[in-house]
Amino acid sequence: MKIIYNGEKDRAFKEVYPEVIPALCEEDPRVVYLDADLMNCIGMLKWANEHPDRAFDCGIAEANMAGIAAGLASVGFKPIIHTFGPFASRRCFDQVFLSAGYAHNDITVIGSDPGVCAALNGGTHMPFEDVALYRTIPTATIFDIADTAQLADLLKQSVNMKGVKYFRVNRKNNIKVYEPGSHFTAGKGIVTKEYGCDAVIFASGIMLGKAMEAADKLHGEGIDVTVADLFTIKPLDEELVIDLAGKCGAVVTAENHNRIGGLTSAVCECLAMNAPTPVSCVAVEDEFGEVGPQDYLEERFGLTTDRIITKVKEVIEKK
């Protein structure tokens, strides 16, 4: 594990799938890939067409896709299913909950374009609630992916993990944080910046790069914070959260999700019950999504580096 963050953009996430999924299928005859008419959006269509015994386009029928994946799992397969985040969560929630989760049929679900990453697809396609839904599935694992190194490694691991595994992943480019080939441990957060203990920022997904930028800028102003990547929202790394909150005494969460039910809720639940600590958050304030370029939407919903800086200063005042 090496952190190579310098503020530059990573390559696009959609380049990862055609590298990783075919390799997983090659290694293990039980891995299969299903999609709901969005193979072409993640670069998988060509390989899928060449491998009709390993890739199944279920058409625009996400509930059925989730159920078929559960059925395949029950006879020994390791299915990976993909669609856009709102359809991978809201649209097939009962099927993922019962046919997969409750019935112990282990599947991997990839939800593309979480939150503001849905950009020009607009509010109908903009899940600010997918983490909240998946958190209520007992035994589910939820990954909010920060960069391509993280996606590649965790996707490889996920096919052999128990339960329902949910990935929320941008298709475009995030800020690069980790060296390619890095290894990640599900359920273990990573300290990615460590200037000091004035406050700690817990971030995930597209907000991690912004949190690191905020830490650099705050350092320039004489405020020294720690940043931790909580890429596994469930199970939460409670040990790390309690430890860093205890050392810093002030917490900011940063997530591309409604503050109800996501990373903020998870961190607050953990701290309220174990180590009460002042918390402030950068998250969507219980609103529906809307259409626009991603940079516009980040400003519109307050998911910015500047807002993280403001919230850090506010929460330090509460210490």
Partner 1 sequence: MLEAAKLTELKKLSLEIRIAILEAIGSLGAGHLGGALSIADALAVLYGEIMKYDPADPGMEDRDKVVCSKGHAGPALYATLAVKGFFPYEMLKTLNRPGTHLPSHCDRLLTPGIDATTGSLGQGTSEAVGMALGDKLKGLKCRTFLFVGDGESNEGQVWEAAMFAGAKKVNNLVWLIDDNKKQLDGRTADVLPVFDFVEKFKAFGFDAVRIDGNDLEQLYEALSAEAGDKPRAIILDTVKGKGIKEIEETEFNHSLGGDEATFERWKDGLRKELEALA
Residues that bind partner 1 (CB under 8 A): 32, 53, 56, 58-59, 61, 63-77, 94-95, 98-99, 102-105
Residue 99 or 174: the one with the smaller Cβ distance to partner 1 is 99
Token couple for 13: 């996430």
Least gap, CB of 113 to partner 1 (angstroms): 23
Shortest CB 19 distance to partner 1, Å: 23
Nearest to partner 1 of 57, 130 (CB atom): 57
Secondary structure (DSSP) of 170-232: -SS--B--B-TT----TT--EEEEES-SSEEEEE-TTHHHHHHHHHHHHHHTT--EEEEE--E
DSSP label at residue 146? -
Position 211: which residue type?
A
The CB-of-18 to partner 1 minimum distance in angstroms stands at 21
- Cα dihedral value 269, 129, 19, 141, nearest 10: 30
Q: CB-wise, 74 or 121, nearer to partner 1?
A: 74
Minimum Å gap between C-beta 76 and partner 1 is: 7
The residues with which 169 forms a beta bridge, in sequence order, are 112
Residue 32 Cβ vs partner 1, minimum distance, rounded to whole Å: 8
Judged by CB, which is closer to partner 1: 58, or 169? 58
- Please measure the distance between the N-terminal and C-terminal CA atoms of the chain and give it in whole angstroms: 33
Token pair listed for 41? 């959006």
Closer residue to partner 1 in complex, CB, 30/217: 30
